A and B are shown apart, each in its own frame.
Chain A
Amino acid sequence: MPRFDTLHTAWMAWDLPAPAPEGVVLEQTKELDKFLAEVERRAFRMAQVALRDPDDAMDVVQDAMLKLARNYAAKPSAEWRPLFYRILENGIRDLQRRRTVRKKFMAWLPGAKEDPDNEAQDPLENVADAGPAAPDILMQDQAMQKLESSLRSLPGRQREAFMLRNFEGFDVAETAKAMGCSEGSVKTHYSRAVHALREQLGEVW
């Protein structure tokens, strides 16, 4: 039985059954910082495509970062990507469910016919920008808007499969891990998503 000079040293020894050297912890923090810096903007855009609202997207991404850091920071860094996107997609799905419930509840209230999601929007956002814009940038923006609206019209699992595989470059196995389903399901969802997008965007693209 080892002897401890103070209660604090005893506590520290008991608290960390497998104590990691300070350098290893620092290295892990740096690695996590690098990983989050790599994925944060892409994750934000993915959440924004799914949720439309940038503030909601920011909340979901922040929550996913916190959960990954708190619960899975000690895991090997190779596992972070699918875990992070799984947390992110779960957060998006939870928020969409809450919105659905809120809409149903608001529909029962008298005088609440307006969509609460649209109330917070600034009407000026819908006004066309009067400033000069290069034609190619304008076309690019329009194409992205079309893509976003088409992605939003897809069922959730198809959208997830398409974004993870095509935007994030996940292979089938990684996508299955991130989505929490079988590889066969991923293939089916992805194929249906591509066909649906082709039908919707065929005329434009």
Chain B
Amino acid sequence: MDEDTQGLAPSALETRSRALFQDSVDAVDMRVRSRLTQARHAALDAAAVSSRRPWFLRTRVWTPAVGVTAAAVLGVALFFGSPIGHHGMSAADMQPNLEDLDMVASGDGSVDALDMLQEDLDFYDFADKAANSGSPTSPSPAA
């Protein structure tokens, strides 16, 4: 059966090795034979159980589906639960920003803001004059 002898009689090596293997198969001890018989019966029982199960409960049907579902769930969990940065703003996150906007836009806060701006302008004017004259004087208390 060698490639060189395709279709011809097998070589001595092939014949002898086959005979030796067959002898070793015949010489398998009783303990191993008993275990093989038990394994065979277990396999036949498994075949009977498998043939009685509905198709949707068979492992071959569900294994890929379960794998894909688990991967999808894991992907979603990692995407939304990632500690690196925020991927979106919830309504709770947006609430303080809206409150700040309200404070700025409301009439109550606008007067205070203009006063503060006026104070800053007076200060910068005083600092400019002091720097040019070289003798700083205290700003007027009215400023």
Contact = CB atoms under 8 A, between A and B. Distances in A.
Interface of A: 11, 14-15, 25, 29, 32-33, 36-37, 40-42, 44-45, 54, 58, 61-62, 65-66, 68-71, 73-74, 140, 143-144, 147, 165-167, 187-188, 190-191, 194, 197-198, 201, 205
Contact of B25 (A42, A166, A187, A201): A42
A29 B24 contact: no
A61 B21 CA distance: 17
Given A167-B18, A197-B17, A73 B50 contact: yes
Interface of B: 1-4, 6, 10-14, 16-18, 20-21, 23-25, 28, 32-33, 35-37, 39-40, 42-44, 46-48, 50-52, 54-55, 60
A130 B21 CA distance: 25
A67 B42 CA distance: 11
A45 B24 contact: yes
Contact of B43 (A68, A166, A190): A68
A29 B45 CA distance: 9
Contacts of A140: 20, 23
Q: Which of B12, B37, B46, B52 has the most CB of A within 10 A?
A: B46
Contacts of A71: 50, 60
Contacts of A205: 12-13, 16
B44 A29 contact: yes
A58 B44 CA distance: 17
B32 to A, nearest CB: 7
